[in-house]
Structure 1
């Protein structure tokens, strides 16, 4: 009888731990999905820029990191997916930044030749 009582308490404790950890897991999955969506948006934005304004290798790295993030998420590795998605965002931001710098430099050059 005591063994059953102890087993029931142990089972109840394990169930409580599982239920308490489930929202944390769901939070990681949601964060990973959000990071992947942000990375996709930034990559899409970078892809619409003029090709000569940034290094295409940077955009390729962003796309590769995004694919890795998606694979990590499918494998249940949410934290790794978040890291890969953030890396993809950083590469896409770099491409966008390079394009802006190039556009600003072109505008300055046109202004100086017009003056």
Structure 2
């Protein structure tokens, strides 16, 4: 299996995990998996179009910002909340919002 297919499979697996956690009411864990889905959508897009995989979030944001502003804006918006999941409870409205953005962006890679 190639890297692109692996990334696509990971998107599906992370999203499925996020949905299961969401249904169980595990908001922080669900948010983390939705965010991981977003990161993998970004990596899929970067690999598909540029044949590059970033080593860290800083590099990912640098690559996304000029070429994929919608994806960059979504990812950079949720990034501080993702970091907060280690010490704070995710707000239900934020969880619904990230889920909606993941569903919208996931459709672009299917």
* TM-score, L = length of structure 1: 0.43
Q: State the TM-score, normalizing by the size of structure 2.
A: 0.44
The structure carrying a bigger helix percent of its residues is 1
Structure label with greater radius of gyration:
1
